[in-house]
Amino acid sequence: MKEIVLETKIKVYPEAELPEVFAGLAQSAREAADRAYAPYSCFHVGAAVLLENGEIITGNNQENAAYPSGLCAERVALFYAGAQYPEIAVKALAIAAETEGKRVKLITPCGACRQVLLETEARSKQSIQILLCGADEAYLIDSASALLPLCFDGKNLPS
């Protein structure tokens, strides 16, 4: 038998100690969450993407009565950034969420969003910093690949 140990390093910042660039990105994600269309779950999620050129793109969850037809905040923001700025790399992404008017303790991306983040990293050939914005603190992860170890990627597909 062989054992493999996977390790992820996460920097945890009290909200007041976030570096300025991440504090602004977190605020953009929170504002995007306020605009989410979530009449069914009442779980409002916002995402803010920081592009390499300094542009910030936001997105929020968009629900639909036919549940699979909705889309998560992270993918809304990433797909918009890819459509409008295909040659500009994504530098960072912040995610924030609230329910019943209160910020959630910690928000993490779903599996589908993790896969899209991974593909976005592969597309630009550089890591994306992920900021998970909670009620009192934020988790900073240096790469989307840290969120999805043993991932499926293009290396598994024929060339």
What secondary structure, in 3-state letters, does 2-51 show?
CCCCCCCCEEEEEHHHCCHHHHHHHHHHHHHHHCCECCCCCEEEEEEEEE
HSE-up (13 A, CA, CB side) for residue 93: 33
Write the CA distances from 49 to 11, 45, 54, 115, integer angstroms: 19, 13, 10, 16
Which listed residue (15, 52, 74, 87) is catalytic?
Answer: 74
CA distance 57 to 31: 12
Q: Active site includes 7?
A: no
Neighbours of 72 (CB within 10 A): 21
- What positions carry a catalytic annotation? 74
